[in-house]
Structure 1
Amino acid sequence: MLTITAILLALALATALWLRPWQFLRGGALVSPLLGSLVVLPWLWALPWMHTMPLQMHWSFACLVLLMLGWPLAVPTLCTIALMAGLLGSQPWEIVVMLAFWRGVLPATLALGLGAAIRRVIGPHLFVYVLGRGFLGAAACLFAASALLQWSGPTQPGLNKELSLVAHWLTAWGDAFVTGMLTAIFVAFKPEWLATWSDTLYLHKT
């Protein structure tokens, strides 16, 4: 399981770096959301290790990072966040690899695919972007990643699988609510902070 996860993570990171993500930082518009992600998210990701919990639930916000930075820049950013969270929580590299892929890269990649499918099927519309990608899409992708992790990994002793899925479902909606709210705010006041947003495409401006 760990070996497959590490291979998939390495492939995603190599692909992202091959796409030259540093180009997204030209002009400086995405520097603020990038730095904000690197400052805030490591602490949120490390919370379950800093406080004893019967069921360790991680905040992700990977879908928000994807919307802000775009996939090529989001992948190395999420890997860095996982590394920083591991350092804060004094976790071994195996946990960092699992965290980077299952809580970061996989939900962001699923959100990328879902966003492309939504735009192709429904079309580029403002409310589709905010609700479909920022809210409903984030909930679906985060829960799918958590469910896949639980399905593919060993069950913790004394942990009810169905109850765990309910907890993942509720956490995904909490994560998605914040993602959708911030997406709407950024669209209204800071559209330059969203690499996946385009006034021309979604507002039909010429």
Structure 2
Amino acid sequence: MNLVSSHIPAGWAVALWLLLAGLFVVMWRQAAWRVLKAPGNLNVLLGATVALLGLWLIKAGVRPGLNIHLLGATALTLMFRPWFAILAMALVIAGLTVHNGQYAAYPANVLMMGVLPVSISWAIYRLVDRKLPNHVFIYIFLNCFFGAGITIALVGIASTLMAGALGIYSFNYLLENYLPFYLLMAWAEAFATGMVMTLLVVYKPEWVATFDDHRYLVSK
């Protein structure tokens, strides 16, 4: 879902901008900005952001505001942890917003397509990290493959509920012509994320902040 400005009720616009501004303030205070000073880290973050922007441009449009595309949020969360993942998603959505001019819809899109999937991905990672053994296959299949699939499925459900609650489209239309296709994207999202993260933990583990060779490989 990529909401357009006409979909945002006037009473919601100010509240959404204030909520997003508050989130950015918390990000400014909580994010470990010092890690970007390490050689290459900023380049990796910006490179991943540009790559994700290109991925989001490959999309299918059902109706205005009902675009379907891969998210990439789980991969960013595992690579950079939540605050920098949200920052990257916000930059991607900002680029698309400048391109299409739907500025009033920016905070809603960031919250729905950025903050929500990153939060779900991080919650899955934290749950797996606490409850299950540290093993590379558990990391790949649960955090990357399963995590990405369940994340995009839940975002699709949340997007459907939001669009229906706002009266953008009827629930019947959304359940027949939008949600099923979004749920089908779960397999593609899971496969793509699992493949990319597998390559990264093998060849560039230093790019994956949540992966530690000693925990997942050496100690085994």
Q: Normalising by the residue count of structure 1, what TM-score does the alignment of the two structures yield?
A: 0.85
Aligned-partner Cα distance in 1 for 2:22–2:122: 16
Classify the secondary structure of the residue corresponding to 1:70.
helix
Q: Work out whether residues 160 and 174 of structure 2, in 8 Å CA contact, stay in contact via their aligned partners in 1.
A: no
Deviation at 1:87, TM superposition (A): 1.6
CA contact under 8 A between 1:43 and 1:85: conserved in structure 2?
Answer: no
1:156 corresponds to which residue?
169
Which residue pairs with 2:46 in the alignment?
A: 35
Contact 1:30–1:68 (CA under 8 A) maintained in structure 2: no
1:127-138 aligned at under 5 Å gives the runs 127-138=137-148
Change (3 A) 1:22 1:61: same
- The alpha-carbon deviation at position 110 of structure 1 amounts to 0.9
Question: Structure 1 residue 7: deviation in Å?
Answer: 5.0
Q: Is 1:123 aligned to residue 136 of structure 2?
A: no
Match of 2:6 in 1: none
Q: Does 1:141 align with 2:147?
A: no
1:80 paired with 2:94, answer no
Q: In the alignment, which residue of structure 2 is the partner of 1:104?
A: 114
2: CA distance between counterparts of 1:21 and 1:4? 27
1:13 and 2:24 aligned: yes
Given the superposition, is the C-alpha separation of residues 203 and 4 from structure 1 closer, same or farther in structure 2, using an over 3 Å criterion? farther
Which structure 1 residue ranges, 5 or more long, are not aligned? none
> Residue deviations 1:5-30, cap 9 Å, x none?
54554444333221233222232243
- Alpha-carbon offset, residue 91 of structure 1: 3.1
Counterpart of 2:169, as a letter, is Q
Cα distance in 1 for residues equivalent to 2:101 and 2:156: 20
Q: Name the structure 2 match of 1:65.
A: 76
Q: Check the 8 A contact 1:115/1:133 in 2, yes or no.
A: yes
Contact 2:74–2:121 (Cα < 8 Å) also in 1: yes
1:202 paired residue number: 216
Report the Cα offset of residue 198 of structure 1. 0.9
- Residues in 1 aligned to 2:120 and 2:25: alpha-carbon distance in whole angstroms: 17
Tell me, in whole angstroms, the C-alpha distance in 2 between the residues paired with 1:193 and 1:105: 21
Q: Runs of at least 4 residues of structure 1 off by over 4 A?
A: 1-8, 51-55
> Aligned residues, how many?
203
Mapped contact 1:59–1:171 kept (Cα < 8 A): yes
Q: Which runs of 5+ in 2 are unaligned?
A: 1-11
Over alpha carbons, which structure has the higher Rg? Answer: 2
Name 2:9's counterpart in structure 1.
none
1:93 to 103, 115, 119: 103
Q: 1:46 to 1:21 in 2, by over 3 A?
A: farther
Q: Which moved more, 1:61-70 or 1:149-158?
A: 149-158
What one-letter code is carried by the residue in structure 1 that aligns with 2:130?
A: R
CA spacing shift, 1:47–1:189, aligned 2, 3 Å: closer
Distance in 2, matches of 1:150 and 1:77, equals 24
